[in-house]
Chains A and B, each alone.
Chain A
């Protein structure tokens, strides 16, 4: 059996793992990233669905990358920028018509006018207000959550700073935010609009990837969570394709290599070795071991703390908390290799496009009413992208790949993902006649398939549902929101930590900072 020694081992080469590894390496640590798959990149990477056809695996919409990560990892040198083009959304309606949401509020309002004059009038201010709220949340999302241990005054100051970051935006702004953040997105919208199409599209944005329906309270929070990730000041979200822009994962891999990070693929970790309460390294599936006083896990918290670390090393109440994380995925994924471009409406737009089928709040809510009981959804809501539009290299010339997120698909043994694939095909066919004939290959995953494929327990994108009771100071579990597991030298950097999923790199950069801070403070003699 081989044995080697490193300053830090990163388990999982997803974007957060790569960010953490690169950040540590840039501070002089000798870091190895262990990726179980043949290719690093995790849920952000692409895969070949059909010979010559490449699809982003899970994340087909990319939020703005964490600006500190871009700066500290010098990702700009490798082509990654934190500002991206905001997508244009086309909501496909049952009558065959559509409504387009442009990044430019006035253009959206112009289109809305055909549906409702009052909605058209209300839209620009509403969009601005939502963005202002998302802006106000951003510092909260980027920072490490303080602990509520006030014997350490720093926690109190950190909390005060966060409070002030919201309060300084003005009394009315704060009051509005505190009022709306716990509302359901349906209530927020129905108070202000009457057009089903615009409400349905926003409702889908609020609930996609979460275990909520648009009538669930706190879905304004999930909407803002998503917006805050996507809309860094002066930046715009875009499909993961990005034309001339680099895939974040590609840029990250180059940055990691330049920083001296060693990346081993096909290296599945069997366990994290712990002795006397301190991390000693990892054991790989092939039986080899790597000694390291620091292990940073990009795997989800349940996998990390119940599979990789033996229960011998963890307190029973901590394990109970970890097991109680709600991590059952609710979202399906269908990928297509297409013979030609489907006949979907393509409004003129500077940036990338996406299509949604979410014609009303009621439609999305009815879909949720099935998944909450673990049932398949007869008429799901869809978010559709065609990544090859922006990045023609993804498919042979003239041909295309399509990626569809499906709200909702249950985490259930009896769920038939292929049946969902057929449903989705038929739904798109209705809006793009002839679509079904152009499908060369279709691959559909429910949460179970996503769980198996990406090793994320529960098959949840975010490694744990995004909800206020699993957010900030209580994510992944109370008292351990600071990227540190209760084993000396073990850190978490995946989506299961604050602020959740989305390809932003925030979790990775915060975890690396925690490692470096602990090293400075001599918490762990390396």
Chain B
């Protein structure tokens, strides 16, 4: 039996971020991972023939640069490759591209609507203003106005001051941005279906809501929140696939003396009184630590691994009610040549390098959501296609290409029962034919294929219901309500157990912020203990 300062449950990117920060602060840290490889959803799967599938998450911009810098991830091999632009494909062979160059984007939008080209600059300024307000909050524990605790008062006051500092008009805009549907919000600016479709896509990613659902607009912030090398709103691929983020983080953990054990499934959190004191593994081994940090989603953490009688009834009920609906699928495809999307002009090859979405208009997306509501995958899904091998030579053999397709919506359970391999393949077929419609001949170039529904995401990665964000990003589950009211500051009702996964503020996406914030809270508790 060995004694650690901290055990981190789960070697997903957030768990690794927390582990790295704790190890860097001198703690004796152990990361336990159920699977035989680390990374959770940020994982690259090396396949036969020199292809690397980036299994779940696929693009990167939200990952906090502060973390890359603090943990010296570049030294551990992480490199983010910015990509040029994005393109949205319509039903009628038309396309709308956006570029890193402002003038090109302007001209391209003006091709569809001169009014929208002008409105886009206003929209971008409005969104950027809101991003500036929100960005500092990402790497801070959310202050909770409902507790009335001393530590929250200065934080709340600072937040209020920053809010007021935006100016009256911006404050009204904040109220609307956080409550409107993405459709209503975009209708205020734009008339072009392709532009609205392109922007709305980001708002429904990973969400069991449609573009007409109130509360979806704020996710537009994500589109502009991230940056690559200080280029606000730029997106990029992690060289070598998203697994390289995890590998770099693991490197940082080990550099600071942390241990990472794979094939180490936790079956129970050990408690003594109201404190968590360690973990029990499937092997029967028990490991004790001064604190245990769970990067798993709250249903797993609190309902599966925690002895039932330990939780306050209200907390338990809130966790039971925590909404964590799977709504996304993923198809990874190895190709022997680059696909040819008919709508994309040959003289704009850079448009293939970014994300290629199929999102003709708002109604298309809402219909796709209607299918999810009635328990089937979208017959006409929102597809977000990227081909990282066009700029990253390490993920596919020469001439070959790796395509990764994110699909919205796919239900965790079907109306006619559980997922089966046959139904999974039928879903894959829907996606492939959706791509084939836009890139004739694409099917003939497929050499390897992997289809993942929420069922696979749950079985393999351990995401409850296959929800990629560890829980819906709706207002009732954000900020001081994430994951549940009263427990937004990375602590649960039991001593010694912390949460650091995407189910904590500020939520999902490969951002690393929850892991960072949790580490700060743990270190601050330790300092208090030392001082006491």
Chain A residues close to B by CB (< 8 Å):
147-150, 171, 174-176, 178-183, 187, 191, 212, 215-218, 324, 326, 365, 369, 372-373, 467-469, 471, 473-474, 478-479
Contact = CB atoms under 8 A, between A and B. Distances in A.
Nearest 8 interchain pairs by C-beta: A478-B172, A468-B179, A469-B180, A182-B475, A175-B146, A469-B179, A217-B215, A148-B171
Given A179-B481, A218-B179, A372-B212, A171 B323 contact: no
A469 B485 contact: no
A129 to B, nearest CB: 13
B175 interface: yes
Contacts of B392: none
A153 B181 CA distance: 32
A150 B180 CA distance: 24
Contacts of A191: 320-321
Contacts of B108: none
Contact of A474 (B148, B176, B212): B176
Interface string B325-339: 000000000000000
Nearest to A177: B146
B179 A215 contact: no
B179 A175 contact: no
A171 B148 contact: yes
A148 B179 contact: no
B172 to A, nearest CB: 3
B184 interface: yes
B486 A175 contact: yes
A140 to B, nearest CB: 13
A171 B172 contact: no
Given A175-B485, A178-B146, A218-B214, A324 B370 contact: no
B485 A217 contact: no
A468 B213 CA distance: 12
B373 A365 contact: yes
A467 B181 CA distance: 10
A178 B169 contact: no
Nearest to B217: A469
Given A148-B168, A369-B370, A478-B169, A469 B184 contact: yes
Size class of B's contact patch? 35 or more
A469 B185 CA distance: 9
Given A179-B476, A179-B481, A217-B476, 15 more contacts: A149-B168, A174-B146, A175-B485, A178-B485, A181-B476, A216-B213, A217-B474, A373-B366, A467-B179, A468-B180, A469-B175, A469-B214, A473-B175, A478-B172, A479-B168
A147 B215 contact: no
B363 interface: yes
Interface of B: 146-148, 164, 168-169, 171-173, 175-176, 179-181, 184-185, 187-188, 209, 212-215, 217, 320-321, 323, 363, 366, 370, 373, 474-476, 481, 485-486
Nearest to A220: B476
Nearest to A183: B476
6 contacts: A171-B146, A178-B481, A218-B215, A369-B373, A372-B212, A478-B173
Nearest to A467: B214
Contacts of B171: 148
B187 A324 contact: yes
A41 B71 CA distance: 70
Contacts of B187: 324
Question: Which residue of A178, A181, A365 has the most chain B CB atoms within 10 A of its CB atom?
Answer: A178
A473 B172 contact: yes
A372 B169 contact: no
A20 B55 CA distance: 63
B299 to A, nearest CB: 14
Nearest to A212: B214
A373 B363 contact: yes
Contact of B184 (A149, A175, A179, A326): A326
Contacts of A212: 214
Contacts of A471: 179
Contacts of B370: 369
Nearest to A218: B214
A18 to B, nearest CB: 31
A457 B185 CA distance: 21
A89 B485 CA distance: 33
Contact of A150 (B164, B172, B173, B209): B164
A467 B214 CA distance: 8
B214 to A, nearest CB: 4
Nearest to B370: A369
Contacts of A187: 321, 323
A149 B170 CA distance: 11
A474 B164 contact: no
Contacts of A479: 168-169, 172
